[in-house]
Amino acid sequence: MITDARALRSSYLPADLHHRDGKINQLADALRPITDGDIGEDAFIFGPSGAGKTTLAKYVVRKLEREALDLRWGYVNCMSDSSKGDVLHRLVRDSGLGADLQKEGTPTSAFLDRLREFDDQIVAILDEVDVLEDESTLHSLYDLPNLTLVLITIDEDDLFAYFDGRLRSRFMGSEMIRLEKYRHEELCDILRARIKAGLAPGVIDERTVEYIADIAAGDARIGIGILRRATKRVMGEDESWITFDVVDSVLDEVLEEIHQQHVDDLGTHKRLLYEIIKAAGEIGVSELHSTYEQRAPQVKSTSTRRRYLSSLESKYDLITSNGKGKGKSYAVPEF
């Protein structure tokens, strides 16, 4: 039934990126000077969950890697690594420039020196950049003469509202790439390509592909998750093909899995806030902050915590809130 299991994973980078040709060219043009040994143009990628932001960034940079001699690139998910030290450590490790540098006990200046001393060009992809703890991270990376930034987040207005005046000024002329949710037929094409790459003929028919795209409503992550879970279900039950009933039976599992993936990606302080809310069932804002301050190893400012909570709610659907001001309360949604 399965010819290539990798094609059913959300992290899989396809040989062709469907319905993003214009965006591919836009990012490729921004990074093209790197092929001549020059620094590229910093770029932002905005768009809703499941629109392919991360896939677009990695796809273009990997293609660039084939054309540019001695290019290094690294990927950082700022939901997991949001402090300056964490980001820089992850970046030097992922780019293959700092295998000997330990996270604990190494000053941030050592990570920056390692990046600066590299003779050729570096591309740094920072995902979920809106949850960075320290704006000085972006200031320091921007100042490196051999590093180009690709910054990814959902909401453009929220990000620039968070930036200080100096950052806004620095990034005002950067390339802005805006993605929309996939249309129904576009998502069908993406699913068909995954099916062709990963499944044997006859496992799923066209009507079921369109049904999955309807349910996913433009979110490729949900659509691909349904396809993968449905395949596992029919294999486990020794069936021959994926039906509407199978798709319906795995939907809750897929949504819960995506939810858990977001939770697993959380860094220390965001995870602590989430776990306090989950353990309480529902908790008032004052009690939440009080409990956090008692448990956190190094307490973040109230404004930083508010930003974390806003991201957990509005961008990643990990929590819900009710009320305003001191009467506000938080809860974790049930599946």
- Measured distance CA(78)–CA(80) in Å, rounded: 5
The phi and psi torsions of 82 (rounded to 5 degrees) equal -110, -15
Task: Please give the mean pLDDT across all residues of the chain.
Answer: 93
Checking if the pLDDT of 220 tops 80, the result is: yes
Question: Residue 335: which pLDDT band, with cuts at 50, 70 and 90?
Answer: low
Across the range 73-95, mean pLDDT stands at 94
For the chain, give the percent of residues with pLDDT over 90. 77
Checking if the pLDDT of 329 tops 80, the result is: yes
Across the range 151-173, mean pLDDT stands at 89
Angle at which helices 220-236 and 244-264 cross, to 10°: 120
Across the range 50-64, mean pLDDT stands at 96
Across the range 40-62, mean pLDDT stands at 96
Checking if the pLDDT of 131 tops 90, the result is: no
Q: What is the DSSP letter of 318?
A: S
Q: What torsion, rounded to 10 degrees, do the Cα atoms 143, 148, 152, 158 define? A: 30
Checking if the pLDDT of 160 tops 90, the result is: no
pLDDT given at position 108: 94
In angstroms, the first-to-last Cα distance of the chain is 30
- Measured distance CA(19)–CA(2) in Å, rounded: 25
DSSP 145-157: TTEEEEEEES-HH
The residue count of the chain comes to 335
Checking if the pLDDT of 144 tops 70, the result is: yes
Question: Residue 20: which pLDDT band, with cuts at 50, 70 and 90?
Answer: very high
Instruction: Report pTM.
Output: 0.89
Beta strands in 166-298 (DSSP E): 175-178, 282-284
pLDDT given at position 307: 85
Across the range 266-279, mean pLDDT stands at 94
The phi and psi torsions of 263 (rounded to 5 degrees) equal -65, -45
pLDDT given at position 314: 82
Supply 96's token pair. 């293959």
For the chain, give the percent of residues with pLDDT over 70. 100
Which carries the bigger pLDDT value, residue 149 or residue 306?
149
Convert the pLDDT of each residue in 235-265 to its tens digit: 988 888 999 999 999 999 999 999 899 899 8
- Measured distance CA(81)–CA(137) in Å, rounded: 12
Question: Residue 133: which pLDDT band, with cuts at 50, 70 and 90?
Answer: confident
Across the range 74-80, mean pLDDT stands at 94
Question: Residue 41: which pLDDT band, with cuts at 50, 70 and 90?
Answer: very high
Across the range 181-189, mean pLDDT stands at 97
- Measured distance CA(7)–CA(304) in Å, rounded: 38
Residue with tokens 């677009």: 56
Across the range 287-304, mean pLDDT stands at 92
96-100, 111-115, 157-161, 271-275: segment of lowest average pLDDT: 157-161
Across the range 296-318, mean pLDDT stands at 88
DSSP 45-80: EE--TTS-HHHHHHHHHHHHHHHSTT-EEEEEETTT
pLDDT given at position 219: 96
